[in-house]
Structure 1
Amino acid sequence: MTIPRIASYPMPKMDQSIHNKTDWRIDPQQSVLLVHDMQQYFLDFYDVSQEPIPELIRHTKMLIEHAHEQDIPVVYTAQLGNQTPEHRQLLTDFWGAGLKDDPVQTKIHDELTPQPEDTVLTKWRYSAFKFSNLEQLMQEWGRNQLIVCGVYAHIGCLMSAAEAFMLNIKPFLLADAMADFSREEHDLALKYASTRCAQVMTTDNVLTAWSNQAEDQIHPLSKAGILRAVSEQLQLPAEEIQLQDDLLLLGLDSVRLMTLVGVWQACGSRVSFEDLAEQPTLDAWIGKIAA
């Protein structure tokens, strides 16, 4: 037996059918984003041009981008190809041999490719915690909130949330950033999570909470703080400024550059006007200012 072909269905929305027992407050300083099993193999069981997949990918991409901006760790899970019977054990009885060792099938979806600062964990069982060091990593990072998105909602996403709960890590399951075998099973996962082990939220809920909480907590010399300061000087939305953009071409003149240098020096950076003018990109500045 393997995974069946999955019919398209509309992405669930938060409505009166979801009754969270918790009212946990999301804190960007405590958050870790878990991008669960977003490999091409699992997505290929859908018509990827039809819902819920386009919305799943769009929302997951937004979550990853905001997490990077706010220095929130992003953790991916991914299964290996050609797993041995010793590796799969009882999984074979339910799902067959699993993925082939094909780079097209095992890779994370192209729009969600992990960045060098991200963590990719090998996935062995339904829960992302099983046979991995996810719990240890969260302890090392000093974080106790797990934001879960990906596939499949009622299997790995739900099981990872349930195990986080049992480890005293607060799980948040995203209703509109997951996909499942059917709308019925998707709804089942949300109902179980909201009443037994997690808080169900939407992508917009999480992004708003991260932004609101982070405003007063962003250090001026952090990546997010540098981006915010540049955004304010250029009077451009932060999401429109790329790491490799030439900031002088975007309108950053010498007066604004001097203003930024003054702000960052006052916060303890030794960066100079000449340092920043020499390589006027965010990518270069982040390293220089932190140093």
Structure 2
Amino acid sequence: MAIPKLQSYLLPTQAELPVNKVKWDFNPARAALLIHDMQEYFLNFWGENSPLIDQVVENVARLRQFCKSQDIPVFYTAQPNQQSDQDRALLNDMWGPGLNKHPDQQRVVSALAPDEQDQVLVKWRYSAFHRSPLESILKETGRDQLIICGVYAHIGCLTTATDAFMRDIKPFMVADALADFSREEHMMALNYTAGRSGKVVMTSELLPATTPASKAQLRALVLPLLDDDAEDLDDADNLVDYGLDSVRMMELAARWRQIHSDIDFISLAKDPSIDGWWKLLSREPA
């Protein structure tokens, strides 16, 4: 009945995303960000030091930082830690008492803690719109696009995206800023959204193109894409030997080519190391 213990998995890559039925352009002036249920209680089911959650939290933090720089409003959903049987209703049948048994885990994780400019919505059901002022705030402020990230992709995030669509609000589901019970359920949520209720995007599609500002930033970007034993990686080591696959390399090439037009898969594959890539990225853009 309760949420099961969860395992990390590889986040979807750009090449694995479903084909979107709609061709909506992202417009920061008409958008809002929803950080969905990123509370300690829901993330603790992956245990400590989950590579999946570390990457998702990092991507959500990047989205939040970008939105704040663009005056895009940021909303959070968070379940209360004291819910009556009347408020919880059928959730008790499906999931048990939930946060009522773990009131100390109600906080949003510290890396994403909301500030005084953010609005935290009390979460009563799967959809963030249920018993909340989200729709009225969006419409009053001329926002008809909703960036959705957080957990769990196939439950609250998907339901919120579908509910947004039913209210004429365009949902953008951020594939690599979501986490789920399994990769199969994660992909199911993306496939449904792309074909029925919204647009599926990657974090990098919403953010302005950038390259790492230092070799340390490059290393921090690359390490989550490698095998678990890559922490002792030397900057001169071959990244392919540590699990970097061609799909991830092509995604990095596509991102960095927006800054350096001569970067492609072949140029990255010639010297697939932190040192080799830093030589390419540390140049002045043409």
Taking structure 1 as the reference length, the TM-score comes to: 0.70
Alignment partners' CA distance in 2, 1:132 and 1:201: 26
Distance 1:71 1:17, change over 3 A: closer
Q: State the Cα distance separating 1:17 from its structure 2 match.
A: 5.0
Amino acid at match of 2:207: L
Alignment partners' CA distance in 1, 2:48 and 2:56: 10
Any residues of structure 2 matched to 1:100-249 within 5 Å, and which? 100=100, 104-208=104-208
In structure 1, runs of 5+ residues without a counterpart are: 212-235, 237-291
Kept after mapping to 2: 8 A contact 1:82/1:98? no
**SS at 2:64's partner residue?**
helix
Kept after mapping to 1: 8 A contact 2:82/2:103? no
Distance 1:16 1:182, change over 3 A: closer
Alignment partners' CA distance in 2, 1:93 and 1:192: 26
- Tell me how many residue pairs correspond in the alignment: 212
Deviations for 1:216-252, whole angstroms, at most 9, x for unmatched residues? Answer: xxxxxxxxxxxxxxxxxxxx9xxxxxxxxxxxxxxxx
Root mean square deviation of aligned Cα:
1.8
Alignment partners' CA distance in 1, 2:158 and 2:51: 20
Residue 21 of structure 1: aligned partner: 21
Amino acid at match of 2:162: A
Residue 3 of structure 1: aligned partner: 3
**SS at 2:207's partner residue?**
helix
Taking structure 2 as the reference length, the TM-score comes to: 0.71
Q: State the Cα distance separating 1:16 from its structure 2 match.
A: 4.8
Q: State the Cα distance separating 1:208 from its structure 2 match.
A: 3.0
Alignment partners' CA distance in 2, 1:103 and 1:140: 34
Deviations for 1:14-40, whole angstroms, at most 9, x for unmatched residues? Answer: 225511001100001001000000000
Deviations for 1:78-104, whole angstroms, at most 9, x for unmatched residues? Answer: 000121110011111110011037563
Any residues of structure 2 matched to 1:242-281 within 5 Å, and which? none
Larger Rg: 1
In structure 2, runs of 5+ residues without a counterpart are: 214-286
Residue 70 of structure 1: aligned partner: 70
Amino acid at match of 2:106: T
Percent identity of the aligned residues? 47
Q: State the Cα distance separating 1:141 from its structure 2 match.
A: 1.2
**SS at 2:51's partner residue?**
coil
Alignment partners' CA distance in 1, 2:194 and 2:182: 19
Q: Which runs of at least 4 in structure 1 moved beyond 4 Å after TM superposition?
A: none
Kept after mapping to 1: 8 A contact 2:4/2:45? yes
Alignment partners' CA distance in 1, 2:51 and 2:163: 29
Distance 1:50 1:31, change over 3 A: same
Alignment partners' CA distance in 2, 1:196 and 1:14: 19
